Structure 1
Amino acid sequence: MAVEAELLPHPYVMEPEADVVPVLWDANSTKIVVVAPPASTTLTVSTTIPNGHPAEVSALPLLPAGSGKLRHLPKRNPVDIEFHELRYSVKEPGCRQRGKGFKTILKGISGKIQSGDLTAIMGPSGAGKSTLMNILAGYKTRQLSGTVSINGQERDLRSFRKMSAYIMQDDQLLPHITVMEAMMISAHLKMDESLDIEYKRAAVHDIMETLGLIECSNTRTERLSGGQRKRLAIAQELVNNPPVMFFDEPTSGLDSSSCFQCVSLLKYLSKGGRTIVCTIHQPSAKIFEMFDKLYMITSGQCIYDGRTSLVVSFLGSFGLKCPPYHNPSDYLTEVSSGDYGEEIIAKLVIAVSQGACRVFEETHKRSMKDMCTCRETPCRCVARRSPRQGFDVDTVSSATSTFLPQLGDGDIQKPSDGSLVEMNGNGTANGHAGVDTSLLPQCEDSNSVVVTAECHSFATTCLTQFRVLFIRTFKSIIRDTTLTRLRLLSHVVIGVLIGLLYMNIGQDGSKVFFNAGCMFFSMLFLMFTALMPTILTFPLEMNVFVREHLNYWYSLKAYYLSKTLADLPFQIVFPLIYGCIVWWMTAQPSDFYRFTIFLTFAVQTSLVAQSLGLVVGAGLSLQSAVFLGPVTAIPILLFSGFFLSLKMIPQYMQWLSYISYVRYSFEGAMLAVYGFDRGSICQTNQTIEELLEGTNMCYFSDAKSFLDEMGITNTHWWLDFLVLCMFFVVLRVIAYLVLRWKVRSYR
C-alpha cells in the first residue's frame, strides 16, 4: 500500500483522523520518521521539506518491547518543574576551619522541565549532573540555596516525593523473587489498599505487557538480562503512575539494542504527559535525537537549555560548527570539556543566563511558521491515505499505539484542562473520571479508587507494609538455597564433629576443663554463624531498601520489623539443631531443665550476635563490615572468662567483661551443666593403675568448686538470660537508629 506524507513543521502528532497515519518529522533534517508502520506499508512523499531537499523516510518502532496499554493506573495531573538560582556546596575533607573548605558544585543554575518532554541532563564527568538530579528529586537538601517550584508553586518536598520516582543507575533488585512477585509486591505497597486484588493484577498485567515483561513473569530477577532488569525497575515504579520520574544513567551497562529500547520506553512514558528527567553520558546519535529537551552543564554552570534538535544550530551561532557525520553529543562533550577554549564556555554561560536559548527557539519557531505551506489549520504532520490504494486504519493505529498514548485504546491522554484521564476508542472518558491529585498537601475524595495517598505518609498502613515485606523476606530466605542450606549444613556437620571429638565427656570429672572448652566453642560457633551471614547479606540489601524507602514504598519501621521477624525462625531452629546434637553426643546431664537452659542460651547467643551483625552491616559498607565484624569479636572473646578467669583480669579492665555478651552465654551454659547443686563430678570406679599413674585424676570434688575456679560465683542463670535479652533489645534499637541515620545521610 502506498501512503503519501504531507509534512508540516510540528514535532508532535495531533488528533487522529480516520484516514491518516501519524508521522514524526525533524524540522532540522531531511528525515521523515513514521512511528511503527505496518510491515506492508510503504511511504510516498507528496511534498518536500521546506528547504527543498528530498525527504528520507524511515520507520522508528519507538516501543519494541510490547504493545500493551496502561488502562488501570490512577489519574495524575502533569507536573512542570522550575528551578531558579540553585547553588550547592559540599565540605571538602580535611578542612576543619569553620566557614572554609567548601566546594561549590552548582553555581546558580536555573531552568524549567516541562511535562510531556523527555529531558536529558548532560555534561562531562564532575559537572554536577547527578547532584542536580538529586536536588530536583528532593534527595539533597543541605548546603543548598535557591528555589524549586512545582506548577508555579513552591515545592512541598514531602508531597513531591510521594508523587515522583527515582530509578537509580544500578538496578537493585532482590534476586530470589520472580518478576510477577516483584510487581505484585510493588502494587500491594504503592496502590491504594481499597483497591481489590483483581484490579491490582490487571494494572500489573497492563504494565508488564506494555514493557515487554510478560514472557519473563515467572523468572527470578537474578536471571534477567540487563535490559529486562532496567524495565522491571521502571515497571515497579509505574504502578502508582508517578507524574515525575528521574533516571540516573538509564543506559549504563546496556548494549546498543537495550539502550534503544530503554530510551524508547522513556519516550513513550513522556508522551503520556509525564515529566521524565535523565542523566546520560555520551549517548549515541540515534539515542541523542530521541530526547526532546537538553540541559547541558559544565563545572556547575549551564551552557545550553533548550530543544535537542536545535543545539547544533545554537552552537553554530557562536561559531562552533559541528563537523558533518559527527555525533552531536560527542561534540557537545568536547565543547563542555574546554577543548575549544574556556572563553567560549564563559560566553555560553552568560548567553544562557540571559535567555539566549529561549530567544533562539522562539526565533526558530517563527521562521518555521513562515515556511509552513500546508492546507490544514492548525498545521499537522500526517501521512494521508493514497486515493489509489486504501489501507486498514486500525492496523496502522494498533502499530503506532505502542508509542503514541493519544491514539491507543485506553491510553493516557493530556486534555485541555491539564489532567491525565483515560480515553477509550471513541474519545470519551473510560472508567473513572480524573481526580485532582495536585502536589499540594490535600485530597479531594478519599473514597475514590483513583485518589492517591497524599493525605498519608504512605499508600498503605504499617500493618499491610509489614505483612507484604514479611512474606517477601521469608520467601527470599527460603529460596536462597545456597545461604540457607549452608547455614543448616554447617550447624549439623559442626555439631556432629564436636560431638565426636568430645564424645561422652560430660560425665567425666577428670575432663571438666575439656568440657568447659566444648561449651565455650559451642557459644563461639553460634556467635560467628549468626554474625557473619548478617554482615555479608545486610549491606547488599541496603541499596534495595534505600531505593524503595525513598520512593515511598514503605516506612522504615515496617521494613526493620519484617526483616527482624522473618529471619527469627531460622535463627532459632538452627541453634536448636546444633544444641541437640552436641548435648546428647557429649553425654551431658540428662536432666530436661538443664537441657532446656542450654538450648535457651544457645538461641540467645545467636540472636544477640545477629543483632550485632545488623548494627555493623547497617552502618558500614560491605568491605568495612567484613573486616570490622571479626575484629569486634576479639575483645568480646577475650573478656568472656574462658581464656582468662574473670578474677585474674586486672582490676581496671574488669568492667570490660560486663560488655562481653559471650561471658553471659558461657556462664549460662556452664551453669546448665554444673550448676543447680550438681554435687560430685568424680568417678568412683577408678582402677589402682589409674590412681598410681595419675591418669583420669579428678581435680575437683564437686561441681561448685570447679565453677569457683572458673570465676563463676554468686550468679544465676536467669540473670545471665536477662542480660542477654537486654543486649538483644539494645542492639536492635541501635541497629534501627543506625539505619535511620543511614537513610537520612542519603538526603
Structure 2
Amino acid sequence: MATDNLLLKTTSTDVKVQIVSTPKKNLTHLPKRPKVDLAFSNLKYVVKQGKTEKVILRNVSGHIRSGELCAIMGPSGAGKSTLLNILTGYKTEGMSGQILMNDADRDLGQFRKLSAYIMQDNQLHANLTVDEAMSVAAKLKIGDKPVHEREAVITEILDTLGLIDHRKTMTSGLSGGQKKRLSIALELVSNPPIMFFDEPTSGLDSSSCFQCISLLKTLAKGGRTIICTIHQPSARLFEMFDQLYTLADGQCVYQGSTNQLVPFLGSLGLQCPAYHNPASYIIEVACGEYGDHTRKLVCAIDNGKHDIREGLPFPEFKVNDGLNNAEQFEKDNLNSLIINKLAKGSSNSSNGTNNILSDSYNNHDLKAAVSDGTELEKVNVNSALLNNAMPVKQPRYGNSEFQQFFIILKRALLFSMRDWTLMYLRLFAHLLVGVLIGALYFKIGNDGAKVLSNLGFLFFNMLFLMYTSMTITILSFPLEMPVLLKEHFNRWYSLRSYYLAITISDMPFQTVFCIAYVTIVYYMTAQPPDMQRYGMFLLACLLVSFVAQSVGLVVGAAMNVQNGVFLAPVMSVPFLLFSGFFVSFDAIPIYLRWITYLSYIRYGFEGTALATYGFDRPKLDCFIKYCHFKKPKTTLEELDMHNSSYLVDVLALVAIFFFLRIAAFLFLKWKLKSNR
C-alpha cells in the first residue's frame, strides 16, 4: 500500500499541513509481451505402472483467461499437479487431448518462451546474494538491453516485491516468504505473460501466504495469466482468487468464478453451511464426505466444458456419457463469451468474433479494476506491458549461447569460491595428505632398495587423485540438478552452454590443488630433480584427476547421490585391479586383457612410472650389497612397461576424458527428459 508524506508549511499565523500521496510502485520497465489465454479440451493422462495403466486425468476441459488469478484445487491424488505440469509443457508423454493458446493450437516451443514455471521448492543458489541472482537472471533473459536498463528492471522488481532492502543478503539467509518472492522476481525479469505456480503457499505462515497470493493477484491484474495449484486455502485466501478449477478423481467438478461456487453447489442440492469455508466444503464434497456426488458434479459442469460466470445462468443438469470433441469445445466457449457480453449489457459494437473475444476480456479486466479502486492505476500502468496481439515468434533465449557460457561460468566460479567444501576443505585435504605422504615416503625416490615402496607411492597418487576428484563431483553435481531443471525449462540458457561452463569451472581449482599436492610429494619423496620429468609426472596426475572428475560427472548425471556414492567406488575396482600395479600386463589372462585398455588408472600409473624410471635414467643409489632394481630399466621390465610409450598414455587419457565428458552430457540430457 502506498504511504503518505506529510509536508509542513509554517507561517507567522498558522501551521498548514499538506498531504501528498507518494506514487505507487509499478512495473513500467519490463519488456512488452502479448496476453495469453489458455483453453484445453479432453485432456487425458495415462501412466504405466508395470504391466497396467493408470488414468490420472479423464478427458478434462477448461478455459483460463488472462488478467485472472486461477486456482487449481482438489483432494490429494486428484491430478491437480499433473494438470499443471501438462499445461506448462513440463509433461508431454502419455498425454492426449488439445491445448489452445489464444484460440489457436499451442506451439509448445513458442509457449515455453512466453511462460514461466515456479516450482514448489525454491530452487536457488545458496551462495549468491539477491542482487547477484537477479543480475544473472537479467543477463540471461534480457541480455540484449543496456546495463542501465537491466539495472532499472532489477531495482523496480525488487522494490515492488519488497526485496529492495535485501539486495546484499545471501539467498540462504532469506525467509521462506522472501525466497518465494525471489523465485518470482527471477522469472519476472522477462515479464512472462503466463506464470504457473506449484503450491506457492507451501511451508509459509498465514501472513506470508497472504502476501504471496496478494502478489500473484497484483501480477494477474496487470494482464498476466496466473495459474497455481493450492491444496486447501483459508477463506481469506480463497476470496482473492478470480477463477477456481476443481478436480476430483481426475475429473473436473467445478470451473468458474469463486463467488459463484456456493450458488452453483446449492443448485445441485449441496448447501454450504453458513460461516463454512467454501474451499474446504468443495474439497469435502470431492472427497465424498457428504456422499458420492462426483458424477453429478462432473455431469453438471460437463467435465470442465461449462464455465460458471457471474451473470450467466447455470448449465442445465444432464447426464452426458460422451464428451464433446475439440471443435464443440471451442464453440461452447465462444457462445459462452458472447452470452457473457450480452448479459453485461456492453454497449461496445463488435466486428466479428475476434472483437467479441477482445472486448469480453477488456470488460473483465475493467471490472476487476473497478472492484478495487486503489488498484486501478496499477492495472492501467501494468497493462501497458502486455498487448492483445497474438504471440509472434519469440527468440529461444534472451542471450547468445556464447554469452550464456561466460555468464554461467562466472556464476559457477563465484559459487565455487564461496563453497567451503568445494574450495577450502578440498585444498586443506590435498595439502595435508601431501605432507603426510611426503613424510611417509621421505627421500625414497632415488633409493634402489626401496623401489617397490616407491611404486606403492606412485599407485597411491593415482588412488588419491581419483577418489578426491570423483567423489566431490558425485556429491556436488546432483545438487545442481533441481536448479538446472527449473532454469533450463524456463529457457534461461541452453544445456550446451550450461554443461560446458559447469565442467570447465572446476578445472582451474582442481589444477591448483593437484599442482600443490604433486609438488609437495614429488620433492619430499626425492623423485628425479629434473623439470622435464616433473612436468611429465604432473601432467599424468592432472589427466587422471580430470578423467576421474569426468567419471564423477557421468555418475552424478546418471543417478542420485546415494546410488552414486556406492556404485562409483565399486565400478572403480576393475580399473584398479587392471592398473598394472597388482598384476603385470603379461600375467593377466588373455580373455581379460581388454579391460586394461579401459583402465585410466593404468595409463596414469604407467605415465608416472615412465616419467620416474624411463628415458634412460641413471642408476639409483644403493646402500646394501645387492639391489635388484638398481637399474631403472629393470623396474620397467618387471612391470612390463619397457616397451610402453608415455605419449600413448597421454593420448589415451585425453581420449577417455573427452569420451566421458560427452557421455556425461548425454546422460544429463536423458535425465532432464526422464524427470519430466
Structure 2 length normalisation: TM-score?
0.87
Residue 10 of structure 1 corresponds to: none
Deviation at 1:656, TM superposition (A): 1.2
Residue 224 of structure 2 corresponds to: 274
Structure 1 position 438 matched with structure 2 position 381: no
The 5-angstrom pairing of residues 566-577 of structure 1 reads 566-577=505-516
- Which of 623, 635, 650 is matched with 2:589 structurally? 650
Distance 1:192 1:498 in 2: 50
- Which of 296, 302, 306 is matched with 1:347 structurally? 296
Deviation at 1:651, TM superposition (A): 2.2
Please say if residues 2 and 24 of structure 2, whose CA atoms lie closer than 8 Å, have aligned partners that are also in contact: no
Distance 1:104 1:608, change over 3 A: same
Residue 39 of structure 2 corresponds to: 82
The 5-angstrom pairing of residues 9-408 of structure 1 reads 68-93=25-50, 95=51, 101-193=52-144, 195-342=145-292, 344-353=293-302, 357-358=307-308, 362-363=312-313, 400=374, 404=375, 406-408=376-378
Deviation at 1:320, TM superposition (A): 1.7
Q: How many percent of aligned residue pairs carry the same amino acid? A: 50
Q: Deviations over 1:532-571 (max 9, x none)?
A: 1111111111111111111011111111111122211111
Please say if residues 679 and 704 of structure 1, whose CA atoms lie closer than 8 Å, have aligned partners that are also in contact: no
Distance 2:92 2:489 in 1: 14
Please say if residues 29 and 152 of structure 2, whose CA atoms lie closer than 8 Å, have aligned partners that are also in contact: yes
Letter in 2 for 1:182: A
Q: Deviations over 1:670-714 (max 9, x none)?
A: 11111112242251x54xxxx5xxxxx522241111122123232
- Which of 442, 455, 464 is matched with 1:525 structurally? 464
Letter in 2 for 1:631: V
Residue 674 of structure 2 corresponds to: 745
Residue 539 of structure 2 corresponds to: 600
Letter in 2 for 1:198: H
Letter in 1 for 2:112: R
Q: Secondary structure at the match of 2:516?
A: helix
Distance 1:317 1:485, change over 3 A: same
Letter in 2 for 1:520: F
Deviation at 1:413, TM superposition (A): 2.2
Deviation at 1:67, TM superposition (A): 5.7
Distance 1:732 1:133, change over 3 A: same
Residue 724 of structure 1 corresponds to: 653
Structure 2: stretches of 5+ with no match in the other structure: 7-22, 315-339, 346-362
Distance 2:585 2:44 in 1: 59
Deviation at 1:290, TM superposition (A): 1.1
The 5-angstrom pairing of residues 374-523 of structure 1 reads 400=374, 404=375, 406-408=376-378, 411-413=381-383, 420=385, 438-441=390-393, 454=394, 456-523=395-462
Q: Secondary structure at the match of 2:34?
A: coil
The 5-angstrom pairing of residues 599-638 of structure 1 reads 599-638=538-577
Please say if residues 156 and 439 of structure 1, whose CA atoms lie closer than 8 Å, have aligned partners that are also in contact: no
Distance 1:512 1:203 in 2: 66
Q: Deviations over 1:358-385 (max 9, x none)?
A: 3786138999989xxxxxx99989999x
Deviation at 1:340, TM superposition (A): 2.4
Distance 1:160 1:380 in 2: 28
Distance 1:356 1:273 in 2: 23
Distance 1:506 1:67 in 2: 76
Please say if residues 68 and 207 of structure 1, whose CA atoms lie closer than 8 Å, have aligned partners that are also in contact: no
Deviation at 1:326, TM superposition (A): 2.5
Please say if residues 682 and 698 of structure 1, whose CA atoms lie closer than 8 Å, have aligned partners that are also in contact: no
Q: Secondary structure at the match of 1:294?
A: strand
Distance 2:103 2:367 in 1: 30
Letter in 1 for 2:46: S
Distance 1:381 1:292 in 2: 9
CA RMSD, aligned part only?
2.7
Please say if residues 509 and 700 of structure 1, whose CA atoms lie closer than 8 Å, have aligned partners that are also in contact: yes
Deviation at 1:151, TM superposition (A): 0.7
Q: Deviations over 1:653-678 (max 9, x none)?
A: 12111111101000111111111122
Residue 664 of structure 2 corresponds to: 735
Distance 1:410 1:313, change over 3 A: closer
Q: Secondary structure at the match of 1:407?
A: helix
Deviation at 1:439, TM superposition (A): 2.5
Please say if residues 138 and 150 of structure 2, whose CA atoms lie closer than 8 Å, have aligned partners that are also in contact: yes
Q: Deviations over 1:129-149 (max 9, x none)?
A: 111111111112222211100
Q: Deviations over 1:90-137 (max 9, x none)?
A: 1113x2xxxxx2211111000000001100111111111111111111
Structure 1: stretches of 5+ with no match in the other structure: 1-34, 41-65, 96-100, 371-376, 385-395, 415-419, 422-433, 442-453, 692-696
Residue 392 of structure 1 corresponds to: none
Q: Deviations over 1:40-64 (max 9, x none)?
A: 9xxxxxxxxxxxxxxxxxxxxxxxx
Distance 2:24 2:614 in 1: 73
Q: Secondary structure at the match of 1:495?
A: helix
Distance 1:382 1:68 in 2: 16
Please say if residues 24 and 378 of structure 2, whose CA atoms lie closer than 8 Å, have aligned partners that are also in contact: no
Distance 1:38 1:332, change over 3 A: farther
Distance 1:214 1:410, change over 3 A: farther
Letter in 1 for 2:34: N
Residue 18 of structure 1 corresponds to: none
Distance 1:335 1:164 in 2: 33
Q: Deviations over 1:580-619 (max 9, x none)?
A: 0000000011111111101001111110011111111111
Distance 2:380 2:426 in 1: 50
Larger helix share, 1 or 2: 2
Q: Deviations over 1:62-100 (max 9, x none)?
A: xxxx9632111011221110000111111113x2xxxxx
Please say if residues 257 and 308 of structure 2, whose CA atoms lie closer than 8 Å, have aligned partners that are also in contact: no
Distance 2:306 2:179 in 1: 40
Residue 350 of structure 2 corresponds to: none
Q: Secondary structure at the match of 2:61?
A: strand
The 5-angstrom pairing of residues 677-688 of structure 1 reads 677-683=616-622, 685-686=623-624
Please say if residues 36 and 101 of structure 2, whose CA atoms lie closer than 8 Å, have aligned partners that are also in contact: yes
Distance 2:295 2:248 in 1: 10
Distance 2:309 2:445 in 1: 91
Residue 18 of structure 2 corresponds to: none
Deviation at 1:332, TM superposition (A): 1.8
Deviation at 1:301, TM superposition (A): 0.5
Structure 1 length normalisation: TM-score?
0.79
Letter in 2 for 1:349: V
Please say if residues 70 and 412 of structure 1, whose CA atoms lie closer than 8 Å, have aligned partners that are also in contact: yes
Distance 1:614 1:381, change over 3 A: closer
Deviation at 1:412, TM superposition (A): 1.0
Q: Secondary structure at the match of 2:36?
A: coil
Distance 1:700 1:413, change over 3 A: closer
